[in-house]
Chain A
Amino acid sequence: MNDRMTFDPTRRSLLRSMIGGSMLLPGIVSQLLAEDAAPSNPADPLAPKPTHFPPKAKRVIFLYMSGGVSHIDSWDPKPKLFADAGKTVPVNEFQGRKGDYKMFLKRPQWEFAPHGKSGTEVSSLFPHVAECVDDLCVIRSMKSDHTNHYEATLGIHTGSFTFARPSIGSWVSYGLGTVNRNLPSFVVIAPQSPYAGGQVWGSDFLPGAHQGTLVVPGPEPVANIQRRAASSRLQELELGAMSRLNQRHLASRADDPLLTARMKSFETAFGMQAEMPEVFDLSKESDATLKLYGLERGSTKGFAWQCLVARRLAEHGVRFVELIDVGSSGNWDAHGDMLTHAPLAKNIDQPIAGLLRDLKQRGMLEDTLVVWTTEFGRTPFNAASDAKGREHHHWVFSSWLAGAGVKPGITFGESDEYGINVGKDPVHVHDFHATILHLMGLDHERLTYRHTGRDYRLTDVHGNVVRDILA
């Protein structure tokens, strides 16, 4: 699918309507139209940039589940863990503390069954997504570096487990720019703040234009998007006058990219006021589509709304859409009781399946990469034999990829017999990131930014593309 084709009609008609409505703005409008034809402006951080090699994916929808989803209760079947529950295993570290521990194996809460033609086993925690397994590449050998939420959340987003660094969405925006100047290149939809807060979508040392724009489900999903001028025409008059004053100001100064970029940012803002609400307006979506996601008409609640809006943002040319299901509390952090996974799974299961099906039926799954992940898994064992929950577990966990350039209907990597360590083909967070960038046509070793005298990368000095899962 071509980005231009999907958003051009809206954009062109919007621009034309602007020409029709005003004589003060033609300069702006013709600039915007001209930009469609000649999109490169070196002073503009969001100007489209060439990839390092032909990409498989043009956009990413990154689904992040906050708190640590249990791998052994969802994507990673461990028959021996069912069989040996209650027995003890020796462990040399527990929740970040070294030592010799004896831990009790805990039985998974949900039963596994093979699904689809591929026969990939998924637990009954995710019945709807299980029906889509033939489109998924489930990675059962993910590894992270830290046992705490904050660090692990930072790690899965930025590749750094200690310091704030640019998030993966910012790196993609920096590497590729945007294809729609009326929308940000990186959008994050989060009902609550996750661990590490805004650092999760921060651009850190990358130019601020690459920071994720936060959308909070509700009446005004993007801050200040609602036009407060009495009418669109009045605002055009204002912008037209401002443009003339700015032109005069610019004329007496050397060509300063900041000045021109700022003039453009008002034009983009003007466009966003029209296009953003259009993206968030679900009234033209059919009943069948809403049903697919399990979304009640008019509701902005839950992951269903997030997933449907993600599809619409992707259609409108947003490069990187991240959905965060819940915040830093009331999440998947099931220390007390594994059954708290059930309502959280229900919130995301049908919407994700709906998103995958919807993308597929629109032909968008071919060049859209869908990523599902969490910051770490949960321990297959506990200190007490009767514990109902599970603790943090970063030695191995599960994630999956679907869509553009990824082998569908496969599993990759293995954990050991109980799901305690990686058994085969480890995929560290850095490898995961390198692979996502690769699918976007970016070489993770060449996507660098110079900061305080050093070239920084998303993958620091690590990362290998997991070639075995590339289609």
Chain B
Amino acid sequence: MSAVCRLRCLGLALAVVVGASADRAFAESDSDFFEKKIRPLLAERCGSCHSAAKGKTRGGLALDTREGWQQGGDSGAAIVPGKPEESLLIRAVRYRDDGPQMPPKEMGGKLAEAEINLLVDWVRRGAPDPRTTAARIGGATLDDARKWWAFQPVRPTTPPIVKESNWPRTDIDRFVLAELEQRGLTHADNADKRMLIRRATFDVTGLPPSPDEIEAFLRDESPGAFEAVVDRLLGSPAYGQRGARHWLDVVRYADFHDGDPKARNPVCEPLEAWRYRDWVVESFNRDLPFDQFLVHQIAGDLLPAPDGKEPNTDGLIATTFLVNGAWDRGDADKEKMVSDMVDDQIDTVGKAFLGLTLGCSRCHDHKFDPVTQSDYYALAGIFYSTRMLKELGTKGGEITLQRRPLVPREVVEKRDQQVKQIAEWNAKLAELDKQSPKPPADDPARLELVAQRDRLQKELPPEPPATLAVSEGGVPGGLFPGIQDVPIHIRGSYTRLGDVVPRRMPSFFAGDRQPPIASGSGRRELAEWVASKENPLTARVIVNRVWQWHFGAGLVRTPNNFGMLSEPPSHPALLDWLAAKFVEDGWSLKRLHRRIMLSATYQLSSKVDGRGLMVEGQKQHGEAAAPSSPSTLNTQPSTTLDPDNRWLGQFTARRLEAEAIRDAMLFVTGKLDPATGGPASDNLAIARRSLYVQTARWDRSNFATLFDAANPDASDEKRNVSTVAPQSLFLLNHPFALDQAQLLADRLIREVPGDTPNVEAARIQLAYHLLFSRPASDEELAIARQVMAQTAEPTAESGWTDLAHVLLCSNEFIYID
């Protein structure tokens, strides 16, 4: 029996004992009374809407368990034992004017007077209820859900006391070291300065450090040297490009559906998605507080512009988040497609911001988490009340994405007026020409008309820039064309509709803090609820992601799922501490990066003789021991104590991501164009950063995909790292790779002229500094010279190209320590 399971069982036993002692023992007559009179009445007249067992808890209220009415619904406890007048249930069945009247007319209407009296009598007796079945909400008992760590408020934590008190640099280190010490593990040495600047530079900018930057860092012996590097990196425009790429994975961003520019249909392709990507880059660079970043993406169209002028361009652009998803746009069934879009939005908002797999409740209650199908359709109502498409399109035809102009309404209206005027004049001209006899070409009236038209045509400004964006109100022509609550879709299909669910936040999570949706779709309320400091999930989820961006793995290893089937955090107190500090800091991502990078934990070496060293003489805890496998049998047990580096005793070396591999190649050849912004290119050979090479949902056989770029069909929490032969084939044979080898060779020859003393060694050294952030050893010089000697045909230059190719393909180039 695991410790967790033991605890759970203990909890259960306690609950039973407490339950039995807290409620007075039932008098036989109480029990009889309940079984004979009350249970059948509740089941028959209330059960179809208020049954946890049936998964129907209208208003959040279940009446088929004792916990159900004790906990109560959206309006609080349903019964105050002994006090019928104060019990909401009694007020409701009495049809009082100031509250809900139950059962409602469509469910048979008011109870008979005798039935009401039975209920009053029961409550007066103290509402004896022997039904002890745990109340459930969705896939969890209420009790378990309340105990789940991620659903509890962020706890205030203080850094623990550690033995090795001179090691920690920051409080982060105290949390980490305490766990290591408790497990009898020790930590690696500090990374050397070259390793550190290479790691930090790739981490923050996705690019290698330049030899000059390394040199400056080595020379700076002040205690604040690394801090200065971190600040420089976080201040560079490349930070936003790197951070945006991380975020775009989470929000299933793609530049296009179709990889082929000629095949793209402009009405349904997200051609303006790049504006969103650029907004994300800029938001990272100006450190837009994460709560605002979030609210913009869900409800930016509803925010006033900061300068008070309409439209709020950033707000509109940010909502591209909601509509840049994957669904089968061309299929016959357009209503199904709209329901898929709504599902994509619920799924992405749930995973990206809340770490909840809300999409699982589309067809049924969640299997594991306290999320019901009603919760899902309460949210679906919000998104159905949001206009994502200009037009639904016809069966088998294309949808038309909604575009909103980024200029003031007057400008648009004026231009529309002009376009209309031109069309009118054209129609008039056509009419004139249809007359018989046709007026002569030099007819003055006609000429005047032509001149007017041409003048206006010349004045007509180009079509104003537009963005993909949402607005309030549903998809015109669809099933839910306005602002409305929607019914449950039985088994997820709009063709079988059940009860209408009022728009609201998921009931377990919002509890009694349901923000009222007064007018509008409810998106703004949703955004603010997600971004609230009180939401236990939002800050934890983003802090965990940023940790993962730095360390390769999160403290919670399922960053899109903090639900009850996920693995709890390795360092729960650290996670909460980081989340609390993050909110205190005004949701600043840059401060969070800084806090993490300045810790000693971040600055550990990845090179140790084994992982998670064991302190002499101590035995390992069972749970961290590696499963024995053939590869570990021959090694010393002390090297395998923490094979996954869960306890952070060292830094985990890792392979660069697809974009960083390509960008690093361009960087070392000196050809990288650091420009930001603009539409994506379909040409891999351009010198711009990979962020600006297109991601297309239907093209899964390109460079980025080959090296495990995110799949933009759904939110991607963590990239795979695959190592397959086709990657090597790319590096060996693709023209892009060969061109970079050639360009690198050119650079070496150009920057170290032929008359330099010891020219060969100097060029090899330059290559090593550029690619590996370090000088070459004598042995490496010898190997490089050997390659040169054997391949320097037909020209000496070709030898340099071959050497460059070898170095670009080598492991060291695409791994960071």
Contacts and interface: CB of A to CB of B under 8 A. Distances in A.
Contact of A246 (B608, B611, B811): B811
A253 interface: yes
A250 interface: yes
Contacts of B815: 258-259
B655 A258 contact: yes
Interface string B302-317: 0000000000000000
Interface string A364-400: 0000000000000000000000000000000000000
A66 to B, nearest CB: 15
Interface stretch (A10-18, A235-243, A346-354): A235-243
A149 B723 contact: no
Nearest to B817: A253
A227 to B, nearest CB: 6
B611 to A, nearest CB: 6
Given A148-B331, A198-B700, A237 B790 contact: yes
Nearest to B707: A208
Interface string B718-753: 001111111111101111001000000000000000
Contact of A40 (B630, B727, B730): B630
Given A228-B738, A238-B805, A258-B655, A209 B724 contact: yes
Contacts of A249: 810-812
Given A245-B783, A452-B561, A224 B708 contact: no
A148 B333 contact: yes
B107 interface: no
A98 B725 contact: no
Nearest to B786: A241
B717 interface: yes
Contacts of B733: 224-228, 273
A271 to B, nearest CB: 8
A409 to B, nearest CB: 39
Most buried by A among B610, B717, B810: B810
A453 B732 contact: no
Nearest to B777: A248
B534 interface: no
A43 B724 CA distance: 13
Contacts of A273: 729, 732-733
B607 A245 contact: no
Interface string A194-225: 00011100101101110101100000001111
Contacts of A164: 711, 713-714
A175 interface: no
Interface in B699-717: 699-701, 705, 708, 711, 713-714, 717
B811 A250 contact: yes
B235 to A, nearest CB: 32
Interface majority SS (helix, strand, loop, mixed), chain B: loop
Contact of B332 (A95, A222, A238): A95
A148 B729 contact: no
A382 B710 CA distance: 43
B812 A262 contact: no
Residue from the set B606, B700, B708, B726 with the largest chain A CB neighbour count within 10 Å:
B726
B297 interface: no
Residue in B607, B717, B809 whose Cβ sees the most chain A Cβ within 10 Å: B809
Q: Which one of A42, A164, A225, A262 has the greatest number of beta carbons of chain B within 10 Å?
A: A262
B301 to A, nearest CB: 29
A284 interface: no
A268 B711 CA distance: 26
Nearest to B713: A164
Interface residues of B, number: 74
Contacts of A45: 722
A244 B714 CA distance: 41
Interface string A266-297: 10111011000000000000000000000000
A244 B729 CA distance: 19
B732 A254 contact: no
B631 interface: yes
A242 B811 CA distance: 9
A268 B654 CA distance: 22
B560 interface: yes
A91 interface: no
Contacts of B631: 41-43, 255, 257
A227 B732 contact: yes
B725 A241 contact: no
Contact of B734 (A97, A151, A224, A453): A224
A345 to B, nearest CB: 24
Interface in A148-195: 148-151, 163-164, 184, 193
Contacts of B653: 253, 256
B394 to A, nearest CB: 14
Contacts of B496: 98
B260 to A, nearest CB: 10
Contact of B607 (A193, A213, A222, A253): A253
B780 interface: yes
Interface string B208-228: 000000000000000000000
Contacts of A262: 655, 723, 728, 811
B673 interface: no
A238 B737 CA distance: 14
A250 B810 CA distance: 11
B565 A242 contact: no
A213 B653 CA distance: 28
B585 interface: no
Residue in A224, A228, A234, A250 whose Cβ sees the most chain B Cβ within 10 Å:
A224
A382 to B, nearest CB: 15
A245 B780 contact: yes
B186 to A, nearest CB: 15
Nearest to A195: B328
Contacts of A151: 328
B2 interface: no
A237 B805 CA distance: 12
B708 to A, nearest CB: 6
Contacts of A258: 654-655, 721, 723, 815
Interface in A35-68: 40-43, 45
A453 B722 contact: no
B672 interface: no
Contacts of A227: 732-733
Interface in B172-214: none
Given A97-B495, A193-B698, A453 B567 contact: yes
A389 to B, nearest CB: 13
A393 B802 CA distance: 58
Contacts of A202: 700, 711
B639 interface: yes
A242 B495 contact: no
A261 interface: yes
Contacts of A42: 629-631
B480 to A, nearest CB: 17
A252 interface: yes
A225 B732 CA distance: 9
A42 B626 CA distance: 14
A199 B805 CA distance: 33
A299 interface: no
A318 to B, nearest CB: 13
Contacts of B817: 253
A229 interface: yes
A272 B567 contact: no
26 contacts: A42-B629, A96-B336, A97-B333, A149-B331, A151-B328, A198-B705, A208-B724, A209-B724, A222-B726, A223-B729, A224-B733, A227-B733, A228-B732, A238-B787, A238-B802, A245-B810, A245-B811, A245-B812, A248-B779, A249-B812, A252-B607, A262-B723, A263-B811, A266-B728, A269-B729, A270-B732
Given A227-B733, A245-B812, 18 more contacts: A43-B631, A96-B332, A96-B333, A148-B328, A184-B726, A197-B698, A214-B701, A235-B732, A238-B802, A245-B783, A249-B811, A250-B811, A254-B609, A262-B723, A262-B728, A272-B729, A452-B558, A452-B566
Shortest beta-carbon contacts, A-B, top 3:
A208-B722, A198-B700, A269-B728
